[in-house]
Amino acid sequence: MWILQLAWKNLWRNKSRTAITMASIFFAVVLSVLTSSLKTGIFDNLIKNVVSFYSGYVQVHKAGYWEEQLLDNSFAASPQLEKTILAQTEITGVTPRLESFALASAEMNTKGCLVVGIDPAKEDRLTHLAAKLIAGEYLKPDDNAVLASEGLLKRMKLQLHDTLVLIGQGYQGATAAGKYFIKGVARFGSPDLNDRLLYLPLLAAQNMFEAPAMLTSYVLSVRNPGLVNATSLSVQQRLGNEYEVMSWEKMMPDIKQHIQGDSNNMQVVQLFLYLLISFGIFGTSLMMMAERRFELGMLVAIGMKKTKLAFLLLAESVLAVLIGCILGIMASIPIVYYLNRHPLRLGGEVAKAYERFGFEAIFPTSTDSMHFITQGLFVLLIGLILSLYPVLKLIRLNPVLSMKK
Protein backbone atom coordinates (compact mmCIF):
# COMPACT_ATOMS: atom_id res chain seq x y z
CA MET A 1 0.00 0.00 0.00
CA TRP A 2 2.74 2.47 0.92
CA ILE A 3 4.48 1.59 -2.33
CA LEU A 4 1.33 2.59 -4.21
CA GLN A 5 1.31 5.87 -2.32
CA LEU A 6 4.92 6.41 -3.28
CA ALA A 7 4.08 5.53 -6.88
CA TRP A 8 1.33 8.12 -6.85
CA LYS A 9 3.73 10.76 -5.53
CA ASN A 10 6.38 9.80 -8.06
CA LEU A 11 3.82 10.13 -10.79
CA TRP A 12 3.59 13.84 -10.13
CA ARG A 13 7.27 14.60 -9.55
CA ASN A 14 7.79 15.50 -13.17
CA LYS A 15 4.45 16.88 -14.20
CA SER A 16 5.26 17.54 -17.82
CA ARG A 17 6.60 14.03 -18.31
CA THR A 18 3.48 12.50 -16.78
CA ALA A 19 1.37 14.90 -18.83
CA ILE A 20 3.06 13.70 -22.03
CA THR A 21 2.41 10.07 -21.15
CA MET A 22 -1.19 10.68 -20.17
CA ALA A 23 -1.83 12.92 -23.16
CA SER A 24 -0.49 10.35 -25.60
CA ILE A 25 -2.73 7.73 -24.05
CA PHE A 26 -5.65 10.13 -23.89
CA PHE A 27 -5.47 11.16 -27.54
CA ALA A 28 -4.79 7.63 -28.64
CA VAL A 29 -7.95 6.43 -26.93
CA VAL A 30 -10.07 9.33 -28.18
CA LEU A 31 -8.82 9.05 -31.75
CA SER A 32 -8.95 5.31 -31.97
CA VAL A 33 -12.43 5.15 -30.44
CA LEU A 34 -13.47 7.82 -32.90
CA THR A 35 -12.00 6.09 -35.96
CA SER A 36 -13.41 2.78 -34.87
CA SER A 37 -16.90 4.12 -34.21
CA LEU A 38 -16.87 6.28 -37.32
CA LYS A 39 -15.76 3.33 -39.39
CA THR A 40 -18.56 1.14 -38.14
CA GLY A 41 -21.05 3.99 -38.21
CA ILE A 42 -20.29 4.90 -41.80
CA PHE A 43 -20.51 1.32 -42.97
CA ASP A 44 -23.67 0.59 -41.04
CA ASN A 45 -25.17 3.69 -42.57
CA LEU A 46 -23.96 2.79 -46.05
CA ILE A 47 -25.34 -0.72 -45.73
CA LYS A 48 -28.58 0.59 -44.36
CA ASN A 49 -28.83 2.93 -47.32
CA VAL A 50 -28.00 0.34 -49.92
CA VAL A 51 -30.14 -2.27 -48.36
CA SER A 52 -33.21 -0.25 -47.53
CA PHE A 53 -32.86 1.22 -50.95
CA TYR A 54 -34.04 -1.87 -52.67
CA SER A 55 -32.57 -5.22 -51.80
CA GLY A 56 -33.21 -5.53 -48.07
CA TYR A 57 -30.71 -7.32 -45.80
CA VAL A 58 -31.80 -10.85 -46.68
CA GLN A 59 -33.90 -12.32 -49.49
CA VAL A 60 -35.51 -15.70 -49.95
CA HIS A 61 -35.90 -17.02 -53.51
CA LYS A 62 -36.63 -20.27 -55.17
CA ALA A 63 -33.30 -22.10 -55.48
CA GLY A 64 -31.54 -20.93 -58.65
CA TYR A 65 -33.45 -17.68 -59.05
CA TRP A 66 -30.46 -15.38 -58.46
CA GLU A 67 -28.55 -17.06 -61.29
CA GLU A 68 -31.52 -16.94 -63.65
CA GLN A 69 -33.92 -14.19 -62.72
CA LEU A 70 -36.94 -15.48 -64.55
CA LEU A 71 -40.58 -15.69 -63.60
CA ASP A 72 -40.35 -19.43 -64.10
CA ASN A 73 -38.08 -19.48 -61.10
CA SER A 74 -40.81 -18.11 -58.87
CA PHE A 75 -42.40 -19.91 -55.95
CA ALA A 76 -45.86 -20.11 -54.45
CA ALA A 77 -46.62 -17.61 -51.70
CA SER A 78 -47.66 -19.43 -48.58
CA PRO A 79 -48.66 -18.24 -45.11
CA GLN A 80 -46.99 -21.41 -43.80
CA LEU A 81 -43.68 -20.40 -45.36
CA GLU A 82 -43.97 -16.87 -43.97
CA LYS A 83 -44.68 -18.27 -40.54
CA THR A 84 -41.64 -20.52 -40.65
CA ILE A 85 -39.45 -17.59 -41.60
CA LEU A 86 -40.93 -15.29 -38.97
CA ALA A 87 -40.43 -17.98 -36.33
CA GLN A 88 -36.71 -17.09 -36.40
CA THR A 89 -36.17 -14.54 -33.65
CA GLU A 90 -33.72 -12.58 -35.78
CA ILE A 91 -36.36 -11.91 -38.43
CA THR A 92 -38.67 -8.98 -37.81
CA GLY A 93 -40.62 -8.84 -41.07
CA VAL A 94 -41.35 -10.52 -44.39
CA THR A 95 -42.17 -8.53 -47.53
CA PRO A 96 -43.30 -10.35 -50.69
CA ARG A 97 -42.35 -9.29 -54.23
CA LEU A 98 -42.95 -10.47 -57.74
CA GLU A 99 -40.39 -8.98 -60.09
CA SER A 100 -39.92 -9.29 -63.81
CA PHE A 101 -38.98 -7.33 -66.89
CA ALA A 102 -41.57 -5.97 -69.27
CA LEU A 103 -41.97 -3.42 -72.02
CA ALA A 104 -43.90 -0.29 -71.19
CA SER A 105 -45.48 1.48 -74.10
CA ALA A 106 -47.63 4.49 -74.74
CA GLU A 107 -48.41 5.83 -78.18
CA MET A 108 -45.14 5.68 -80.10
CA ASN A 109 -42.85 5.04 -77.14
CA THR A 110 -41.78 1.65 -75.86
CA LYS A 111 -39.23 1.25 -73.07
CA GLY A 112 -37.92 -1.65 -71.05
CA CYS A 113 -38.77 -1.53 -67.39
CA LEU A 114 -38.50 -3.51 -64.19
CA VAL A 115 -41.94 -4.36 -62.89
CA VAL A 116 -42.18 -5.00 -59.20
CA GLY A 117 -45.33 -6.33 -57.66
CA ILE A 118 -45.50 -5.28 -54.03
CA ASP A 119 -47.54 -5.37 -50.87
CA PRO A 120 -47.78 -1.55 -50.59
CA ALA A 121 -47.86 -1.30 -46.80
CA LYS A 122 -45.07 -3.81 -46.16
CA GLU A 123 -42.92 -2.41 -48.95
CA ASP A 124 -43.23 1.07 -47.49
CA ARG A 125 -42.08 -0.20 -44.11
CA LEU A 126 -39.03 -1.79 -45.71
CA THR A 127 -37.90 0.75 -48.33
CA HIS A 128 -39.96 3.84 -47.40
CA LEU A 129 -41.35 3.87 -50.90
CA ALA A 130 -44.18 6.30 -50.08
CA ALA A 131 -41.62 8.89 -49.05
CA LYS A 132 -40.07 8.78 -52.52
CA LEU A 133 -43.32 9.94 -54.08
CA ILE A 134 -43.02 13.30 -55.88
CA ALA A 135 -46.50 13.40 -57.40
CA GLY A 136 -49.81 11.59 -57.12
CA GLU A 137 -50.69 8.99 -54.52
CA TYR A 138 -49.26 5.83 -53.07
CA LEU A 139 -50.61 2.44 -54.15
CA LYS A 140 -53.37 0.48 -52.41
CA PRO A 141 -53.44 -3.35 -52.45
CA ASP A 142 -56.38 -3.65 -54.81
CA ASP A 143 -55.46 -0.82 -57.18
CA ASN A 144 -55.05 -1.67 -60.79
CA ALA A 145 -52.58 1.17 -61.21
CA VAL A 146 -48.83 1.77 -61.25
CA LEU A 147 -46.37 3.87 -59.37
CA ALA A 148 -43.75 4.84 -61.94
CA SER A 149 -40.26 6.21 -61.60
CA GLU A 150 -39.74 9.79 -62.67
CA GLY A 151 -37.07 8.96 -65.27
CA LEU A 152 -39.14 6.29 -66.96
CA LEU A 153 -42.08 8.64 -67.41
CA LYS A 154 -39.83 11.33 -68.78
CA ARG A 155 -38.35 8.91 -71.30
CA MET A 156 -41.82 7.89 -72.33
CA LYS A 157 -43.05 11.50 -72.37
CA LEU A 158 -45.85 10.55 -69.99
CA GLN A 159 -47.31 12.31 -66.98
CA LEU A 160 -49.17 11.52 -63.81
CA HIS A 161 -52.69 10.15 -64.46
CA ASP A 162 -51.83 9.08 -68.00
CA THR A 163 -52.10 5.40 -68.85
CA LEU A 164 -49.52 2.98 -70.14
CA VAL A 165 -49.53 -0.55 -71.47
CA LEU A 166 -47.26 -3.30 -70.19
CA ILE A 167 -46.31 -6.22 -72.38
CA GLY A 168 -44.09 -9.11 -71.43
CA GLN A 169 -43.66 -12.78 -70.96
CA GLY A 170 -45.75 -14.28 -68.21
CA TYR A 171 -45.36 -17.33 -66.06
CA GLN A 172 -44.63 -20.57 -67.96
CA GLY A 173 -44.72 -19.04 -71.42
CA ALA A 174 -47.97 -17.11 -71.07
CA THR A 175 -48.19 -13.66 -72.58
CA ALA A 176 -48.44 -10.87 -70.07
CA ALA A 177 -50.22 -7.66 -70.86
CA GLY A 178 -52.17 -4.98 -69.09
CA LYS A 179 -53.20 -1.35 -69.24
CA TYR A 180 -52.60 0.78 -66.16
CA PHE A 181 -53.38 4.20 -64.80
CA ILE A 182 -50.31 6.12 -63.49
CA LYS A 183 -51.31 6.82 -59.91
CA GLY A 184 -48.02 8.10 -58.54
CA VAL A 185 -44.57 9.24 -59.55
CA ALA A 186 -41.53 8.47 -57.42
CA ARG A 187 -37.96 9.66 -57.60
CA PHE A 188 -35.11 7.26 -56.90
CA GLY A 189 -31.56 8.32 -56.14
CA SER A 190 -29.96 5.76 -58.37
CA PRO A 191 -30.25 6.93 -62.02
CA ASP A 192 -30.45 3.33 -63.11
CA LEU A 193 -33.48 2.54 -60.97
CA ASN A 194 -35.01 5.96 -61.62
CA ASP A 195 -35.13 5.13 -65.33
CA ARG A 196 -36.66 1.67 -65.03
CA LEU A 197 -38.68 1.02 -61.92
CA LEU A 198 -42.37 0.48 -62.05
CA TYR A 199 -44.39 -0.66 -59.03
CA LEU A 200 -47.67 -2.51 -59.15
CA PRO A 201 -49.74 -3.90 -56.31
CA LEU A 202 -48.86 -7.56 -55.90
CA LEU A 203 -52.25 -8.84 -57.03
CA ALA A 204 -52.24 -6.75 -60.20
CA ALA A 205 -48.75 -7.96 -61.03
CA GLN A 206 -49.68 -11.60 -60.46
CA ASN A 207 -52.68 -11.15 -62.72
CA MET A 208 -50.69 -9.53 -65.47
CA PHE A 209 -47.93 -12.13 -65.44
CA GLU A 210 -50.50 -14.88 -65.08
CA ALA A 211 -48.70 -16.07 -62.05
CA PRO A 212 -51.44 -16.22 -59.43
CA ALA A 213 -50.14 -16.42 -55.87
CA MET A 214 -46.57 -16.65 -57.13
CA LEU A 215 -43.62 -14.64 -55.80
CA THR A 216 -40.02 -14.17 -56.88
CA SER A 217 -38.79 -13.17 -53.44
CA TYR A 218 -39.44 -12.59 -49.81
CA VAL A 219 -37.45 -9.66 -48.53
CA LEU A 220 -36.63 -10.13 -44.84
CA SER A 221 -36.12 -7.46 -42.21
CA VAL A 222 -33.61 -8.41 -39.55
CA ARG A 223 -33.10 -7.41 -35.94
CA ASN A 224 -29.31 -7.17 -36.10
CA PRO A 225 -27.83 -6.16 -39.46
CA GLY A 226 -24.41 -7.25 -38.20
CA LEU A 227 -25.57 -10.87 -38.14
CA VAL A 228 -27.01 -11.16 -41.65
CA ASN A 229 -24.80 -14.05 -42.64
CA ALA A 230 -25.60 -16.15 -39.60
CA THR A 231 -29.25 -15.22 -39.88
CA SER A 232 -29.52 -16.17 -43.55
CA LEU A 233 -27.74 -19.41 -42.82
CA SER A 234 -30.21 -20.37 -40.11
CA VAL A 235 -33.19 -19.44 -42.30
CA GLN A 236 -31.65 -21.49 -45.11
CA GLN A 237 -31.40 -24.49 -42.80
CA ARG A 238 -35.02 -24.04 -41.81
CA LEU A 239 -36.31 -23.82 -45.38
CA GLY A 240 -34.20 -26.53 -47.02
CA ASN A 241 -32.69 -26.70 -50.52
CA GLU A 242 -35.88 -25.82 -52.30
CA TYR A 243 -35.15 -22.19 -51.52
CA GLU A 244 -32.08 -19.98 -51.60
CA VAL A 245 -31.54 -17.51 -48.78
CA MET A 246 -29.12 -14.71 -49.62
CA SER A 247 -27.73 -11.85 -47.56
CA TRP A 248 -27.04 -8.50 -49.19
CA GLU A 249 -23.35 -9.38 -49.05
CA LYS A 250 -23.97 -12.31 -51.39
CA MET A 251 -26.33 -10.41 -53.65
CA MET A 252 -24.04 -7.37 -53.92
CA PRO A 253 -20.47 -8.62 -53.48
CA ASP A 254 -18.98 -5.43 -54.98
CA ILE A 255 -20.38 -3.31 -52.16
CA LYS A 256 -19.09 -5.78 -49.62
CA GLN A 257 -15.67 -5.51 -51.24
CA HIS A 258 -15.73 -1.74 -51.20
CA ILE A 259 -16.51 -1.76 -47.49
CA GLN A 260 -13.74 -4.25 -46.81
CA GLY A 261 -11.25 -2.01 -48.62
CA ASP A 262 -12.25 1.08 -46.66
CA SER A 263 -12.11 -0.88 -43.46
CA ASN A 264 -8.52 -1.87 -44.20
CA ASN A 265 -7.64 1.78 -44.78
CA MET A 266 -9.07 2.67 -41.40
CA GLN A 267 -7.00 -0.05 -39.81
CA VAL A 268 -3.86 1.53 -41.24
CA VAL A 269 -4.86 4.82 -39.63
CA GLN A 270 -5.32 3.04 -36.32
CA LEU A 271 -2.01 1.24 -36.60
CA PHE A 272 -0.33 4.58 -37.13
CA LEU A 273 -2.05 5.92 -34.02
CA TYR A 274 -0.88 2.99 -31.95
CA LEU A 275 2.67 3.50 -33.18
CA LEU A 276 2.51 7.17 -32.32
CA ILE A 277 1.52 6.57 -28.72
CA SER A 278 4.04 3.80 -28.38
CA PHE A 279 6.79 6.25 -29.22
CA GLY A 280 5.30 8.82 -26.85
CA ILE A 281 5.22 6.40 -23.94
CA PHE A 282 8.56 4.84 -24.75
CA GLY A 283 10.25 8.24 -24.99
CA THR A 284 9.00 9.31 -21.60
CA SER A 285 10.06 6.01 -20.00
CA LEU A 286 13.51 6.45 -21.46
CA MET A 287 13.69 9.96 -20.03
CA MET A 288 12.41 8.80 -16.68
CA MET A 289 14.91 5.97 -16.36
CA ALA A 290 17.83 8.23 -17.27
CA GLU A 291 16.71 10.88 -14.82
CA ARG A 292 16.28 8.44 -11.96
CA ARG A 293 19.32 6.28 -12.56
CA PHE A 294 21.14 7.43 -9.45
CA GLU A 295 18.06 7.25 -7.27
CA LEU A 296 17.18 3.72 -8.37
CA GLY A 297 20.76 2.60 -7.73
CA MET A 298 20.65 4.25 -4.31
CA LEU A 299 17.40 2.49 -3.42
CA VAL A 300 18.83 -0.90 -4.35
CA ALA A 301 22.00 -0.03 -2.40
CA ILE A 302 20.17 0.73 0.81
CA GLY A 303 18.21 -2.50 0.56
CA MET A 304 15.15 -2.15 -1.63
CA LYS A 305 14.53 -5.45 -3.41
CA LYS A 306 14.31 -5.19 -7.17
CA THR A 307 10.93 -6.88 -7.13
CA LYS A 308 9.60 -4.10 -4.90
CA LEU A 309 11.22 -1.46 -7.05
CA ALA A 310 9.80 -3.09 -10.17
CA PHE A 311 6.37 -3.02 -8.58
CA LEU A 312 6.84 0.68 -7.83
CA LEU A 313 7.86 1.54 -11.41
CA LEU A 314 5.12 -0.64 -12.84
CA ALA A 315 2.55 0.96 -10.58
CA GLU A 316 3.69 4.40 -11.71
CA SER A 317 3.29 3.67 -15.40
CA VAL A 318 0.11 1.66 -14.97
CA LEU A 319 -1.41 4.56 -13.05
CA ALA A 320 -0.44 7.00 -15.80
CA VAL A 321 -1.73 4.72 -18.54
CA LEU A 322 -4.93 3.94 -16.66
CA ILE A 323 -5.71 7.58 -15.95
CA GLY A 324 -5.03 8.48 -19.59
CA CYS A 325 -7.29 5.65 -20.73
CA ILE A 326 -10.15 6.51 -18.40
CA LEU A 327 -9.98 10.19 -19.30
CA GLY A 328 -9.81 9.24 -22.97
CA ILE A 329 -12.90 7.06 -22.76
CA MET A 330 -14.74 9.68 -20.74
CA ALA A 331 -13.94 12.31 -23.32
CA SER A 332 -14.76 10.13 -26.29
CA ILE A 333 -18.22 9.13 -25.08
CA PRO A 334 -19.78 12.59 -25.50
CA ILE A 335 -17.88 13.17 -28.76
CA VAL A 336 -19.08 9.91 -30.25
CA TYR A 337 -22.66 10.51 -29.11
CA TYR A 338 -22.59 14.05 -30.44
CA LEU A 339 -21.33 12.88 -33.83
CA ASN A 340 -24.02 10.24 -33.82
CA ARG A 341 -26.76 12.83 -33.32
CA HIS A 342 -25.08 15.45 -35.47
CA PRO A 343 -23.27 13.38 -38.07
CA LEU A 344 -20.46 14.78 -40.17
CA ARG A 345 -21.95 16.03 -43.41
CA LEU A 346 -19.96 16.33 -46.58
CA GLY A 347 -20.70 18.88 -49.25
CA GLY A 348 -19.58 19.53 -52.80
CA GLU A 349 -18.66 16.77 -55.22
CA VAL A 350 -18.73 14.02 -52.63
CA ALA A 351 -22.22 14.94 -51.59
CA LYS A 352 -23.32 14.92 -55.24
CA ALA A 353 -21.75 11.52 -55.80
CA TYR A 354 -23.58 10.15 -52.81
CA GLU A 355 -26.84 11.75 -53.86
CA ARG A 356 -26.62 10.08 -57.24
CA PHE A 357 -26.95 6.82 -55.41
CA GLY A 358 -29.78 8.15 -53.37
CA PHE A 359 -27.84 8.54 -50.11
CA GLU A 360 -27.22 11.58 -48.05
CA ALA A 361 -23.50 12.24 -47.63
CA ILE A 362 -23.63 11.93 -43.85
CA PHE A 363 -21.24 10.04 -41.64
CA PRO A 364 -22.70 9.16 -38.26
CA THR A 365 -20.65 7.42 -35.57
CA SER A 366 -21.64 4.11 -34.11
CA THR A 367 -22.38 4.32 -30.38
CA ASP A 368 -21.83 0.63 -29.82
CA SER A 369 -20.10 0.32 -26.44
CA MET A 370 -17.78 -2.22 -28.05
CA HIS A 371 -15.73 0.64 -29.54
CA PHE A 372 -14.98 2.15 -26.15
CA ILE A 373 -14.19 -1.18 -24.60
CA THR A 374 -12.02 -2.68 -27.33
CA GLN A 375 -10.13 0.48 -28.18
CA GLY A 376 -9.70 1.41 -24.51
CA LEU A 377 -8.42 -2.06 -23.68
CA PHE A 378 -6.13 -2.16 -26.68
CA VAL A 379 -4.46 1.14 -25.81
CA LEU A 380 -4.25 -0.02 -22.20
CA LEU A 381 -2.53 -3.17 -23.38
CA ILE A 382 0.01 -1.19 -25.41
CA GLY A 383 0.65 1.00 -22.39
CA LEU A 384 1.12 -2.01 -20.15
CA ILE A 385 3.52 -3.71 -22.54
CA LEU A 386 5.59 -0.54 -22.76
CA SER A 387 5.52 -0.26 -18.96
CA LEU A 388 7.67 -3.36 -18.92
CA TYR A 389 10.61 -1.42 -20.34
CA PRO A 390 11.63 0.19 -17.02
CA VAL A 391 11.27 -3.19 -15.35
CA LEU A 392 13.61 -4.80 -17.88
CA LYS A 393 16.13 -2.02 -17.32
CA LEU A 394 15.82 -2.56 -13.60
CA ILE A 395 16.71 -6.24 -13.78
CA ARG A 396 20.14 -5.32 -15.10
CA LEU A 397 20.62 -2.35 -12.79
CA ASN A 398 23.90 -2.39 -10.89
CA PRO A 399 23.80 -0.05 -7.90
CA VAL A 400 27.52 0.75 -8.00
CA LEU A 401 27.50 1.66 -11.67
CA SER A 402 24.26 3.62 -11.58
CA MET A 403 25.47 5.72 -8.65
CA LYS A 404 28.76 6.50 -10.35
CA LYS A 405 29.04 10.12 -11.37
Partner 1 sequence: MKTVIDAHNISKTYNKENIPVYAVNNVHLHINQGEFTALVGPSGSGKTTLLNLIGGLDKPDEGKIEINGIDISAMSPNKLIDFRLLNIGFVFQSFNLIPVLTAKENVEFIMQLQGIPKAAREERINNLFKQIDLVDKMDSRPAQLSGGQQQRVAVARALASKPQFVLADEPTANLDTASASNLLDIMALLNKEENITFIFSTHDARVIERARRVITLVDGRIVSDTAKVAVHEE
Q: Using CB under 8 A as the criterion, which residues of the chain lie in contact with partner 1 when the complex forms?
A: 2, 6, 9-10, 12-13, 294-295, 298-306, 308, 399-400, 403
Shortest spacing between CB 403 and partner 1, in angstroms: 7
Shortest spacing between CB 282 and partner 1, in angstroms: 23
Shortest spacing between CB 2 and partner 1, in angstroms: 5
Q: Which is nearer to partner 1, 300 or 320 (CB)?
A: 300
Q: How far is CA 130 from CA 120, 135, 163, 177, in A?
A: 9, 10, 20, 26
Q: Which is nearer to partner 1, 10 or 32 (CB)?
A: 10
Shortest spacing between CB 402 and partner 1, in angstroms: 11
Q: Which is nearer to partner 1, 303 or 334 (CB)?
A: 303
Do 280 and 29 contact (CB within 8 A), yes or no?
Answer: no
Q: Which is nearer to partner 1, 12 or 272 (CB)?
A: 12
Shortest spacing between CB 317 and partner 1, in angstroms: 16
Shortest spacing between CB 1 and partner 1, in angstroms: 10
Angle of helix 228-239 versus helix 79-86 axis, rounded to 10:
140
Q: Which is nearer to partner 1, 70 or 298 (CB)?
A: 298
Q: Which is nearer to partner 1, 1 or 108 (CB)?
A: 1
Q: Which is nearer to partner 1, 9 or 179 (CB)?
A: 9
Shortest spacing between CB 316 and partner 1, in angstroms: 11
Shortest spacing between CB 283 and partner 1, in angstroms: 22
Q: Which is nearer to partner 1, 6 or 269 (CB)?
A: 6
